[in-house]
């Protein structure tokens, strides 16, 4: 008989996402303002749009990933290193596909420029996602 695996609740996933995106905005908006020499409102609003999109994708992505992983009998906080890397990269690829058109439109740049921006931002965020998720699982383990 299979053992029932406890998964993170929707409330827990929302907490994860809100904290994650808030810290990310605090780090990236000032960098975007400096790089593009744009006002706080302009880059801040772009950041909020990207964060809201990411929050929706984050909840759905993690819910699906957890369900797939639960089939192996493992909970998210017991995820091994290699699977954490796969999780982080998969999430960022999903975000890139949906972010590039927004960068292009909002900043009035070419698709190539948007891809380059996304590569830089994504490279930073992949590492941040790994460290943040590891810390989150330590502070809020699945019981």
Handedness of CA 10, 121, 130, 80 (dihedral sign): positive
What is residue 140's DSSP assignment?
S
- HSE at residue 72, side-chain half, CA atoms within 13 A, is 11
The predicted-structure confidence for 123-133, as pLDDT tens digits, reads as follows: 898 889 889 99
- Mean pLDDT of all residues belonging to the chain: 89
The predicted-structure confidence for 60-73, as pLDDT tens digits, reads as follows: 998 898 888 888 88
Q: Do residues 31 and 23 touch, judged by C-beta distance below 8 A? A: no
Mean pLDDT along residues 36-57: 91
How confident is residue 97, by pLDDT bands cut at 50, 70 and 90? very high
Token couple for 14: 């929302």
Q: What pLDDT shows up at residue 76?
A: 73
Cα separation, 66 vs 60, whole angstroms: 10
């Amino acid at each position: 008989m299979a053992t029932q695996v406890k998964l993170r609740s929707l409330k827990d996933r929302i907490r994860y996402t809100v904290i994650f995106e808030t810290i990310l905005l605090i780090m990236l908006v000032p960098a975007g303002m400096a790089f593009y020499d744009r006002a706080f409102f302009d880059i801040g609003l772009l950041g909020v749009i990207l964060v809201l999109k990411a929050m929706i994708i984050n909840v759905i992505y993690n819910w699906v990933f957890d369900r797939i992983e639960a089939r192996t009998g493992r909970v998210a906080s017991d995820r091994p290193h290699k699977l954490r890397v796969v999780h982080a990269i998969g999430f960022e690829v999903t975000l890139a596909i949906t972010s590039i058109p927004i960068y292009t439109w909002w900043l009035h740049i070419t698709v190539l420029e948007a891809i380059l921006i996304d590569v830089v931002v994504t490279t930073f965020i992949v590492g941040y996602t790994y460290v943040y998720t590891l810390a989150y699982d330590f502070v809020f383990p699945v019981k």
